[in-house]
Amino acid sequence: MSTDKITFLMNWHATPYHAPLYLAQAKGYFKDEGIKAAIMEPNDPGDVTEIIGSKKVDVGFKAMIHSLAAKARDFPIQSIGSLLDEPFTGEVYLKDCGITPDFHTLKGERIGYVGEFGEIQIDELTSHYGMSPSDYTAI
């Protein structure tokens, strides 16, 4: 039996999000199919889209919003599946910090975000409550 090789590049260090891939490797599913799989973690998660688009790896994991951005930049990528049926993101704050569910208490505050599209997501979320980006500072 010939052995095919495939490289997977994670979008972050190993998390439960990646469990199906690590489980397949641990259970020998790749080996059973004659596939030699290499699972790699990025040094900088911000580089993953470019590495995938430059054809240095076979398959990469990225949030769908980053995949759409890569297509918009004409990276030669194709989305082939999804591990989650919703984004792996959310908003968190301390229970007793005074933030209200309508986010109006964020006016004049600094809001932290992660990733290329974090600020866009914050702007979109707060716009549903009648706020504009000038009402807060995204950091």
Which helix (DSSP H) or strand (DSSP E) does residue 9 occupy?
strand 4-9
Q: Please give the domain boundaries of the chain with CATH numbers for all domains.
A: 4-72 (3.40.190.10), 89-139 (3.40.190.10)
d(CA 98, CA 63): 31
pLDDT band, very low/low/confident/very high, at 137 (cuts 50, 70, 90): very high
Structure tokens, 35: 């596939």
Digit-coded pLDDT (tens) for 81-131: 877 766 666 677 788 888 888 888 888 989 888 766 778 778 888 888 899
Q: Higher model confidence: residue 23 or residue 43?
A: 23
pLDDT band, very low/low/confident/very high, at 1 (cuts 50, 70, 90): very low
Digit-coded pLDDT (tens) for 99-110: 888 888 888 989
Beta strand spans in 1-78 (E): 4-9, 35-40, 59-60
Q: Higher model confidence: residue 93 or residue 4?
A: 4
pLDDT band, very low/low/confident/very high, at 7 (cuts 50, 70, 90): very high
Angle of CA points 74, 57, 85, to nearest 5°: 70
Digit-coded pLDDT (tens) for 25-60: 999 999 999 999 999 998 887 778 788 878 889 998
* CA Rg value for the chain: 19
Active-site option among 13, 66, 104, 128? 66
What's this model's pTM, rounded to 2 decimal places?
0.60
Active site residue 66: yes
